[in-house]
Amino acid sequence: MSHAGDSRIQEFIGDPVSDNPILGRAKLEEIFQDIQADIRFDHELHGCLNCGICTATCPAAHYYDFSPREIVQLLWTENLEGIHDAMQEKIWACAQCYTCAARCPFGNSPGGLIMLMRETAIKHGMQSAKDVLRPFSRVMLKLISTGNQLAPDMINPDHFADWGPNLTKVKAPLKILRKAIPVPTLHTTETAWQVNLKTSIELYTIWEMTGVLDQLETIDQNLFDVIVDIMDEKRDDWQDWVDEQEDADED
């Protein structure tokens, strides 16, 4: 079902306590149109009974001021201010478990719609996206530059103060313990396992070609610059290795 040309966009209400809207109408429309224009939008939203089954089964709704029913209603009724407001905080509570999608009698995927809203928040460089993603910058650096999401050397006692007595596990001689693992690719502490250079570059190229790096540049320029430097170096190393092999074949 296409919603193009069949708008249910609500009348602009504005901020009830101020004559100055937080965001102009044109910008609110641009944000919504970016969400709606995604090829997945019509696949994830077919209508909404407002039944609340999604919220009743949503784990995040049990712990946060968050309701997938509310998010879907905002999108279905094209409530531009409400959509923008939800993108300031609420959409980041979703655990992306898709229990809601399995239960919705309308075949909607509230989790999928929230993913579109998150991607749009990143595209527009919203502060909420920057705030949410900042604590994950170390993980993103590790993931993109090594192909590993986490590594033993990221387990720093300063970061796990709430572990209590279990902190002794963090203080263990990880380098020695890792060497004792029979699998050679696990003998590192900088990575959880060794990803070879070619695979690492291929992963980087996928992130580059699919727009992940563009999104990263929008929300964290410094991290983007560091990652580009690291990967340029890796690509040079790979090219050097390829050149060496070709020279050896000619000899």
- How near is the Cβ of 150 to ligand SF4 at its closest, in Å? 22
CB-nearer residue toward ligand SF4: 111 or 147: 111
∠ CA 59-45-52, rounded to 5°: 40
**Binding track, positions 63-82, relative to ligand SF4; x by CB under 6 A:** -----xx--x----------
First-to-last CA distance in the chain? 63
- How near is the Cβ of 44 to ligand SF4 at its closest, in Å? 10
Alpha helices in 11-67 (DSSP H): 25-37, 41-44, 53-57, 59-63
- How near is the Cβ of 92 to ligand SF4 at its closest, in Å? 11
Instruction: For residue 16, give the DSSP letter.
Output: T
Q: Which residues between 111 and 150 bind ligand SF4 (CB under 6 A)? A: 111, 114
Rounded to the nearest 10°, the torsion over CA 87, 93, 99, 101 is 0
- How near is the Cβ of 113 to ligand SF4 at its closest, in Å? 9
- φ, ψ (nearest 5 deg) of residue 82: -65, -40
48 sits near ligand SF4 (criterion: CB under 6 A): yes
Torsional sign, CA 200, 39, 41, 132: positive
- How near is the Cβ of 147 to ligand SF4 at its closest, in Å? 27
CB-nearer residue toward ligand SF4: 8 or 169: 8
- Gap between the Cα atoms of 136 and 97, Å rounded: 19
CB-nearer residue toward ligand SF4: 109 or 145: 109
Site for ligand SF4, rule CB under 6 A = 48-54, 58-60, 68-69, 72, 94-100, 104-106, 108, 110-111, 114
